[in-house]
Amino acid sequence: MSTSLRVIGYVRVSTSKQDIGPEVQIADLTAEAARRGWELDIRREDAASAKSLKGRPVLAAALADLKAGSADVLAVSKLDRLSRSVADFARILEDADHQRWHVICLDLGVDTTTITGRAMAQVTATFAEMERRRIGERTRAAMATLPPETRDRMRNGGRPSVIDPATVALVRTLREGGATLQGICDRLTAEGVPTATGGKWWPATVKKLIVSAIS
């Protein structure tokens, strides 16, 4: 590959005093550009969060230019200037591969213009996949500790319960007739009466309907 790469040097300036300043980032990128003969175009984003890629118009414009072929490389001095999410970084690497541009992250040694740098990128993507799987496992474990009716509600987007008044009346009548909470659940399920969330009938749900009807 030609040494005269068109490189977008992305510099992010945050309000955190612990983050490295723009002067240091620019100096790192400029020194690397001089060493490698890059055509460097510095793009500066002020006070943008690194937690995700959303709400960062300068970065969005840079990515659009790379996709359009107006530049060859996106370079940052440190990974956290681009994103603190390894998963987001892995998605950028994937886009770069599909759209035929490159990523250089000076502090990690990621440089997809080289064989070694591409290997580092693959390692990063592997850890991102591990991170996603761990998050999924933690989420499933947390869901398993919740009451079943709460899980149903969360799977439905947390929308408030809205039950047909006729169903509420039926539940109250069955309860006054001596039916147990589980018995009412079984009756409603057998008759195909829908819940508010489309999930299963649970005794706790039936109890809430009875209490709300009384109040």
- List the alpha helices (DSSP H) in the chain: 22-36, 57-68, 79-82, 86-99, 115-144, 148-155, 165-176, 181-190, 203-214
Cβ neighbours for 162, distance < 8 A, ≥ 6 positions apart: 196
Which of 10, 74, 8 lies closest to 48 in space, CA to CA? 10
Query: Coil, strand, or helix at residue 119?
Result: helix
* Cα(38)–Cα(35) distance, integer angstroms: 8
User: Is 14 labeled as catalytic in the residue annotation?
Assistant: yes
As given in the structure block, the two tokens for residue 209 are 């309907």
Catalytic residue among 2, 4, 14, 16: 14
* Cα(192)–Cα(64) distance, integer angstroms: 51
Active-site residue numbers? 14
